[in-house]
Structure 1
Amino acid sequence: MNDVPAQLPSFVLMPDTTGAEVPQGISRRSILGVGASVAAATLLAACGGGKGAGGSTGSKSSTLTVGIPSTPDTLDPGATGLALTLLMAFTMFDPLVWWLPDGSNGAKFVPGLATSYSVNKDATVFNFKLRKDVTFHDGTKFDATAVKATFDHVVDPATKSKSGLGALGPYKETQIVSPYEVNIVFSSPNASFLHQQAAGNFGIASPTALSKYGAVGFGNHPVGTGPFKFSRYVSGDRLTVVRNPDYKWGPSDLGTAGPPALESVIFRVITDDSGRYNGLQSGQTQVAMNLPPNTINVAKAKYDQLTVPSIGTPIGLMINVTKEPTDDPKVRQAILYAVDQETLVKSVLFGTSTAAHGVLTPTTPGYSKPGAALYSYDPDKANALLDSAGWVKGSDGTRSKNGKKLQLEILLYSGAGMELPTQFVVSQLAKVGFAANTSVQPFATAQGSFNNGVHNLGSFGYFGMDPYLLNIWVNSNAIKTGFNWSHYTNKAIDAEIAKANATADDTARNAMYTDIGTKLMQDGVFLPLYDVTFAFTMSKKLSGVKTTLNGYVLFHGAKLG
């Protein structure tokens, strides 16, 4: 899949019959698989507005309840580090521009809060012309001030942004050109920005709410422009959002350009897997998220199953390159040879996922076939590497060196469904002489542990919109406070990622990411297991659910009945 064309696209504008400025067309990009060429820019239909385009008029009022597996870290999309938060944030926030599946294995840009955009030649200045008919949930009028406040909030150190800051890259400033026009400016070329701003982290926030609640408090009082409004949040229990009756600026691609058909959506925290399934069976919930594969296998006869693949980094285990014994490249490579991903997917995941072998999923631009081909399952090679590194097998099958066991500390964060797959990994590693201790912590606690490097292997997976997501978990500056849980420091790789992000030509750019992915696999910083997806088991009464390119479901046009 190729990503950024040699000349970044812009909307073509023409007046409609009311005299308002609407886009005549949008750029279309092909997502036909690994290495597919980019489709030529194609003019497509503009999105409309108003209740007549499929809003709640005449629809049955109803409440949708979604069982989610863990507690969000915050409700602020600009601060979060969890994909779960962005799933919920998409109900409350709109991006400047949407990037959505086009229904034919392709993708397209669709106007959001911006009616048009343009990009300068070196991709350092992104100009957005804004809608004039949008109001935030708190009554604040949407304009250029809100866009500037949102991006400045993400880069504010007080926000402690986990994903958004890394995704923004070389952000310099947001310039207000006029009340309804902004320039988002970067200090160096940022070819990933059009995709990144649609990923969920940059849903535009009310400047009034940001000022009122502050960088930290906004996470408990989210105020956006989305189809649903924040109503109530009980930490560890549920988030309730209610229909925004004034919503009329959503893309018709999502099933409605007007208010949603649903009266409200409740996200219930049900950490127990059987509890989420029981809730679905009893009718207390209509959607159960990320059920175990064996349950999905049983439930598929009675319920609809929606598995949403994502651009991103596969589910897997980060390998800490600074802590013994994984500070030795031979030990890391032995781990990669010792694990059979195909058997994992077949025997543990019941075929509900796809085996992964690289640092990016196959639908991600710059996916590295060479990198993914480096480590086919080969326990003999794993044993030979450990032998050459001086680790000797004892009578119990566990290796040791200089009186120390070949012991791995494995840390998982809860709610990610990694416990059973990790048991499989541990059993595979034991066959070549590793001992392992596995512990599970809540995400907020685990992140601190990962940053402090107490682990050898740590659970990971990333939902993204662009291969620049590697900057979030590979960059040398993201070790102590970010997602570089491998503690991998390679300034040359940092520079290569920055250079790729500064390259507008997608053929050249993707080739650079392919090389980066191969190098990361050679260095053994990550054990990929299976491709990152969200799995939603749903009542057959639910219809109208749409999906994003980064694994989420959208409830703009959803209906029950």
Structure 2
Amino acid sequence: MIRTRRGIHAAFLALGLAGTALLAAPAWAAGTLTISSPQDPGSWDPIDTFLVNWASVATNIYDGLTYRGADLKLVPGLATAWEELDDGKRIRFTLREGVKFHDGEPFNAEAVKFTFDRLLGEEGKKGPQRSNYAAIDKVEIIDAKTVDFHLRAPDPVLLTKLAGYGAMIVPPKYIQEKGDDYFNAHPVGTGPFKVTSYEPKIGIKLEAFADHWGGAPKLSNLEYRFIAEPATAVAELQAGRVDLVIPPTIPVGMIPTIQADPKLEVVSTAGPTVYALRFNTKSGPTADERVRKALILGVDRDAIIKTILGGQAAPIASFQGALSFGNDPAMKPLPYDPEKAKALLKEAGIATGTTLQIDVRGNDSTFNEVSQAIASYLQVIGLNATIKPYETNVLLNDIIPAGKTGAMFEQAWGGWTLDYDNTAYSMYHSGEKWNPYDSDPKLDALLESQRSITDRAKREEILQSIAHYTADRALEIPLYNYNAIFGVSKRVKNFTPVPDSRLRLTDVTVE
């Protein structure tokens, strides 16, 4: 049973994940599912990454204490129950017994403590995940199947955060013996599939883990191929060498090609992923708020959604979608108004023909089309926008965090917790990896204040005020909330698209 002193939680079984853990594991269906993923994350360590393409693989390798599936409901994972104590400043977790890591090491309270000591320590400091779990002060072992999380302050999103990314439970003995660098390329978890081989830039192969606590998956193998070029991925899907192409690979322009093939189908679902052009607010023309507002006014985002994106997106007024807790449905984007944009540029003293650089991910063909359209709109208001493509990992790991971008840079963000805090704190708080330029004490205070509030209505009010404040300061051009688009072979059965692309493939089969 999941319980709290406040009586918030009802009894749960781990539905959809492993509700029949006490039953015998089902026989494997013969078959390998081959998946095209657009990006090699570069490390399989949970604390090293923020990438959706990491999670789409690693959700099958690791388990967290909690789990959130395609229906977005939170259920037990490696913890069978939890209880909030001390007004939310302590959470006691009862751990699942009889669980093994892929190398045979037992899962227990020591593994939980090791995972979070590592995440919150020097090793975690090197990666982007630690700030998401900053509310955790320490993990205390009560006994082999019980741990207490002592919090600096209540975190209303923590239980969801424990279902993904940095909170995935890792094996202490294995990491201590092999080292962090080895673990990056040879991950071991407790998930339904275990890694058999990994070739950087090529792919990663997994096989079903027969001893998984929820029973063996229905597939015998998963094979992920890293294919950055969309046309190649779709060609491989058509040829039958790939069974599933995951987001954000498929450009809208290739959807008709897939739909025209009787062996294939397109599956699309609304998700949390939003796109924006963020600004260098520290130097150059975009340091001026008037210029930033002019650039927003100068781009017809509705036309881009209709023509380039084929309606597979929705407009946004802040850097979050409609599923996000903290989104204000009454908030409207700035309208397309090129004349007002020109007036603001003139007021700011920006000369006609001023050049502004837009940095983009080179393999994102859909956004490359969008950025070309944006450049054309900016030309109408008298600006010369140049587009500089980067290899994705270079842009995300070297250019943006170091503050080496042009005036504008592409930012796509999944916001997988479906809570605006996950996006806003990372994008706007001083010193964060994705905020290389801006520092705003008032905004920092707002971001920090909502993290410890358990009153849902009050917290939503603060998050909405953050959205309005960042829009007033014009910290980015909010572009659109993009659907998650999958290309699927019809030989794939029982596939359910998930909004956050964290695909748990235990029930999928192939004919």
TM (norm. structure 2) is: 0.92
- Are residues 132 and 61 of structure 1, via their aligned partners in 2, closer, same or farther at CA, if it must alter by over 3 Å? same
Q: Determine if the alignment matches structure 1 residue 329 to structure 2 residue 299.
A: no
Distance 1:508 1:25 in 2: 31
Which residue of 233, 246, 263 corresponds with 1:276?
233
Q: Secondary structure in 2 aligned to 1:517?
A: helix
**For structure 2, which runs of at least 5 residues remain unmatched after alignment?**
none
Question: Residue in 1 aligned with 2:490?
Answer: 540
Q: Secondary structure in 1 aligned to 2:275?
A: strand
Question: Residue in 1 aligned with 2:500?
Answer: 550
Q: Secondary structure in 2 aligned to 1:531?
A: strand
Letter in 1 for 2:337: D
Question: Residue in 2 aligned with 1:66?
Answer: 35
Question: Residue in 2 aligned with 1:188?
Answer: 153
Letter in 1 for 2:413: Y
- Are residues 113 and 11 of structure 1, via their aligned partners in 2, closer, same or farther at CA, if it must alter by over 3 Å? farther
Question: Residue in 2 aligned with 1:460?
Answer: 411
Q: Secondary structure in 2 aligned to 1:224?
A: coil
**For structure 1, which runs of at least 5 residues remain unmatched after alignment?**
13-22, 27-43, 250-257, 399-405
The range that moved more, 181-190 or 297-306, is 297-306
Question: Residue in 2 aligned with 1:423?
Answer: 372
Asked if the contact 2:32/2:219 (under 8 Å) is kept, the reply is yes
Q: Secondary structure in 1 aligned to 2:211?
A: coil
- Are residues 162 and 437 of structure 1, via their aligned partners in 2, closer, same or farther at CA, if it must alter by over 3 Å? farther
Question: Residue in 1 aligned with 2:434?
Answer: 483
Question: Residue in 2 aligned with 1:132?
Answer: 97
Q: How does 1:73-84 map to 2 (within 5 A)?
A: 73-84=42-53
- Are residues 8 and 445 of structure 1, via their aligned partners in 2, closer, same or farther at CA, if it must alter by over 3 Å? farther
Question: Residue in 1 aligned with 2:54?
Answer: 85
Asked if the contact 1:155/1:161 (under 8 Å) is kept, the reply is no
Question: Residue in 2 aligned with 1:9?
Answer: 8
Asked if the contact 1:7/1:121 (under 8 Å) is kept, the reply is no
> What's the CA shift for 1:548?
4.3
Letter in 2 for 1:73: G
- Are residues 412 and 123 of structure 1, via their aligned partners in 2, closer, same or farther at CA, if it must alter by over 3 Å? farther
Q: Secondary structure in 2 aligned to 1:88?
A: helix
> What's the CA shift for 1:355?
2.6
Question: Residue in 2 aligned with 1:504?
Answer: 454
Asked if the contact 2:420/2:463 (under 8 Å) is kept, the reply is yes
Distance 1:416 1:158 in 2: 31
TM (norm. structure 1) is: 0.84
Question: Residue in 2 aligned with 1:291?
Answer: 250
Letter in 2 for 1:100: G
Q: Secondary structure in 2 aligned to 1:530?
A: strand
| CA offsets 1:127-169 (integer angstroms, 9 cap, x no match) | 1100111000010000011111112222233345544212113
Asked if the contact 1:8/1:119 (under 8 Å) is kept, the reply is no
- Are residues 155 and 442 of structure 1, via their aligned partners in 2, closer, same or farther at CA, if it must alter by over 3 Å? farther
Letter in 2 for 1:153: R
- Are residues 45 and 160 of structure 1, via their aligned partners in 2, closer, same or farther at CA, if it must alter by over 3 Å? closer
Q: Secondary structure in 1 aligned to 2:48?
A: coil
Letter in 2 for 1:49: A
Question: Residue in 2 aligned with 1:95?
Answer: 64
> What's the CA shift for 1:539?
0.5
> What's the CA shift for 1:375?
0.9
Distance 2:271 2:88 in 1: 25
State how many pairs are aligned.
498
Asked if the contact 1:68/1:270 (under 8 Å) is kept, the reply is yes
Letter in 1 for 2:280: N
Letter in 1 for 2:213: K
Question: Residue in 2 aligned with 1:266?
Answer: 223
Q: How does 1:135-534 map to 2 (within 5 A)?
A: 135-160=100-125, 162-249=127-214, 258-289=215-246, 290-302=249-261, 303-311=264-272, 314-369=274-329, 372-393=331-352, 398=353, 406-417=354-365, 418-446=367-395, 447-455=397-405, 456-463=407-414, 464-465=416-417, 466-469=419-422, 470-478=424-432, 482-485=433-436, 487-534=437-484
| CA offsets 1:329-373 (integer angstroms, 9 cap, x no match) | 001111111111111111111222223331111110010345x41
Asked if the contact 2:49/2:128 (under 8 Å) is kept, the reply is yes
> What's the CA shift for 1:101?
4.3
Asked if the contact 2:67/2:163 (under 8 Å) is kept, the reply is yes
Distance 2:440 2:452 in 1: 19
Asked if the contact 2:84/2:91 (under 8 Å) is kept, the reply is yes
Q: Secondary structure in 2 aligned to 1:91?
A: coil
Distance 1:409 1:188 in 2: 42
Asked if the contact 1:119/1:127 (under 8 Å) is kept, the reply is yes
Asked if the contact 2:99/2:190 (under 8 Å) is kept, the reply is yes
- Are residues 307 and 120 of structure 1, via their aligned partners in 2, closer, same or farther at CA, if it must alter by over 3 Å? farther
Q: Secondary structure in 1 aligned to 2:165?
A: coil
Asked if the contact 1:79/1:154 (under 8 Å) is kept, the reply is no
Letter in 1 for 2:317: H
Letter in 2 for 1:375: L
Distance 1:24 1:223 in 2: 25
- Are residues 433 and 217 of structure 1, via their aligned partners in 2, closer, same or farther at CA, if it must alter by over 3 Å? farther
Distance 1:240 1:339 in 2: 43
- Are residues 132 and 506 of structure 1, via their aligned partners in 2, closer, same or farther at CA, if it must alter by over 3 Å? same
Distance 2:226 2:403 in 1: 29
Asked if the contact 2:36/2:225 (under 8 Å) is kept, the reply is yes
Distance 1:544 1:177 in 2: 40
Distance 1:188 1:412 in 2: 38
